[in-house]
Amino acid sequence: MKIAVIFTGGTIGSRQKEEGWIGPDSRQSDAIIRDYRMRNPLQAKEIEFICKMPYMILSENLNADCLMLLIETVQDCIQQGGFDGILICHGTDTLQYTAAILGYVFADAQLPIILVSSNYPLEDERANGFCNFYYAVETVTNGLNGVMVVYQNSDGNTYVHAGTKLLAHQTFEDDLYSIHKECLGFYSPDGAWHMQSRLPEPERPVAYHGLSGQTEMILWLRIYPACVYPELTESTKAVLVESYHSGTIAMNQEWKEFAEKARKKKIPVYLVGATGTAGGYESMREYEALGIQVLAEQAPIAAYCRLWLEMSHERTIK
């Protein structure tokens, strides 16, 4: 078996340095593969790991240039052929963004592309990075294709998530969840694989034309009481509104005036966080009249990433 391992930094590619701060260290690439071979000598004999390192950053510094380098590296691996899977070692802070971008770009991939991260540096006994890497290798052989994230939660189970279904981490928490807690499957602490009976619908791929660094083109709003709506500028190409957990937003005068301004400027307004509008709260009845397009059953980060990809087309950016 031949597996490409792409290192990008993040906590899984970092170590605690002499000053006490945690930072990327290229030597960690050897550490995780060396540990895998030491703990699993029989399996490791059958695996050839081919390592690549397009960049090394803490993942909070992720930007369009890094993502394009990563996409190019994954494309090169696919075009080269001969790989049974591609593992990407990535930081946790922006794990969901990279997973969603890759999930749309490589939605039709005929091999597993798996993101692997760690909640602590690998030398920390609390780290789940080695476990995540081990089960990512296992997942290469279980028949699933496309972009996935393998991650062990505090319950001891290691979950396999579809790349475009992930929710943001809860504040101060390491555990990772998909929308409705519906993953592709999980490994129990004894190592047994449990495939979910109802898998999420596969994503429609998004044509890739690069990624614009003009992040102001998407205005992402999170609703809160007494919300103040910003001005829409000439660079705004879309508005993404993240609702309360029940899929609602306040239908007050301030919102209606904001939505009307967007309509006059022909700026589409998308709402994420709702499962639909039929049979919901009465405030939802006004969505259509105000020109709000509900992105039902979509994770907010994935919705943002899809808009970012679609609006990065050179004909869209002025």
Q: What's residue 128's pLDDT? A: 96
- Give yes or no for a contact between 10 and 90, defined as CB atoms under 8 angstroms apart: yes
Domains (range + CATH), the chain: 2-195 (3.40.50.1170), 215-310 (3.40.50.40)
Which candidate, 211, 212, 165, 205, places its Cα nearest to that of 185? 165
Q: What's residue 193's pLDDT? A: 96
Q: What's residue 281's pLDDT? A: 64
pTM for the full predicted model: 0.93
CA dist 15 and 184 (Å) reads 31
Which segments in the chain show pLDDT lower than 70? 18, 20, 197, 215, 277-283, 314-318
What's the alpha-carbon Rg for the chain, to the nearest Å? 21
Which candidate, 150, 76, 145, 152, places its Cα nearest to that of 116? 150
pLDDT tens across 171-225, in order?
999 999 999 999 999 999 999 999 986 777 778 889 998 999 876 799 999 999 9
- What would the two tokens of residue 299 be? 């994770």
| DSSP three-state, residue 123 | coil
3-state SS, 43-93, equals HHHCCEEEEECCCCECHHHCCHHHHHHHHHHHHHHHHHCCCCEEEEECCCC
Q: What's residue 277's pLDDT? A: 58
Q: What's residue 241's pLDDT? A: 95
Q: What's residue 215's pLDDT? A: 67
